[in-house]
Homo-oligomer: A and B are copies of this chain.
C-alpha cells in the first residue's frame, strides 16, 4: 500500500480542518489519516476523502506508527507532543511558534527556501501567517535587487486568532447593528467596526509578539540575519485574509515594471495590479485561494531603490495549512520523508 501514515494534531480547528482539505485537494499520498484533537474535541468527527473520521485525543501514544505529523495547535501542545512524534519516527511539520527560531529547525516557505529542508532532524517549522505572504512576494524581488529593509503595516483577519475570534466578530457585528453589542472576550476591545493595533500580546520593548515574528522570521527564511524590519501589526474586522502595506528597500535599483515582470512569473504569487480597472488584492478575493495576491506596485518616494506593495493572502491556507502541506510535498519530492 502506497502513501504515508499521517496525523493531523488539531484536526477540528480552523487550520487543522484546512490541512485535511488541502491534503485532499492536492492528492497528497495518504495511506492512513489519524485526526487528533483536544480532550474536549475527542469523539467528534472530521471529514477527509469522503469519510467521517473520529477525532482521537492527542497523546504520545496516538502518535505511534505515524510517518508525518502536522501540528496545527498552539505552542504548548507542540512543545509537549512534537518531540514525542519525532521520537516515534515521525517527521513533524509544526505551524506553532514553539520551534521556529531554533537553529537546527528549518523554517520553510517552499517557494522561497525549500533547500533548508535538507538535513532536517525530524521537525520542520512553518512560519507565522503574516511572514509567509511577505516573503513569498519579497523573495523573488530580493533575488533580483538585494533586500535591504522592510516596513510593513498589517491588516490581519480575526481567523488568525482562531475560530472563537471569528464567532466574536460575528456576534459583535450582529449586536452592534441591532444596537445591543456583547462585551469583548477574545480581544481586549471590540473588534466589530473597529481596528486594534494589537495582534497577540505585548513584549517588554513595546512591540507585540506578532510584530517580533515579522522581524525575526524573514531574516531566517531569506538568510539575511541583518535585515531591518519595522512592523506594526493591526487586527481588522475581516474574517479571512491578511493584508499588508509594504515598503521594501533594495540594494540596487528595481523599477516597478521589472518588479511586475518578476512577480508575474514568481511561484505562489498572483499579480493583481491594474488599479485604474479596480484590480488590486483584497482579503475577500484572497479567501479560499492558495496564491499570495500582490498589487499596487509603486516607487517609494522615501527610500532609494524602494518599492511600495500591497500583499494579501488567505491566512488559514497559504498562511498556515497550505504552506504546511507544501512543506510535506517538498519533503517527499526530495526523498526526505
0 or 1 for each of A215-240: is its CB under 8 Å from B? (1 = yes): 10000000000001110101011110
* Number of chain A residues close to chain B: CB under 8 A: 59
Contacts of A275 in B (CB 8 A): 198, 202, 206, 208
Copy count, this protein chain: 2
Tell me if B189 and A282 are in contact (CB < 8 A): yes
- A211 shortest CB reach to chain B, Å: 9
A174 CA to B229 CA in the complex, in Å? 39
Contacts of A151 in B (CB 8 A): 151, 247, 302
Does A142 interact with chain B (Cβ within 8 Å)?
Answer: no
A169 CA to B177 CA in the complex, in Å? 10
Does A188 interact with chain B (Cβ within 8 Å)?
Answer: yes
0 or 1 for each of A281-294: is its CB under 8 Å from B? (1 = yes): 11111000000000
SS of A interface (majority): mixed
Does A196 interact with chain B (Cβ within 8 Å)?
Answer: yes
Q: Which of A256, A276, A302: most chain B CB closer than 10 A?
A: A302
Given the interface pairs A193-B238, A197-B296, A238-B194, the reply to whether A232 lies near B308 with Cβ below 8 Å is yes
Within 8 Å by CB of A230, from B189, B193, B196, B308, lies B308
Contacts of A295 in B (CB 8 A): 197
30 A-B residue pairs with Cβ-Cβ distance under 8 Å, sorted by A, are A150-B302, A151-B151, A151-B302, A153-B153, A155-B195, A169-B193, A170-B177, A173-B173, A173-B177, A189-B285, A190-B284, A193-B238, A193-B239, A193-B284, A194-B238, A194-B282, A195-B282, A195-B283, A197-B243, A197-B295, A197-B310, A202-B275, A202-B276, A205-B298, A206-B298, A230-B247, A230-B302, A232-B296, A232-B308, A236-B236
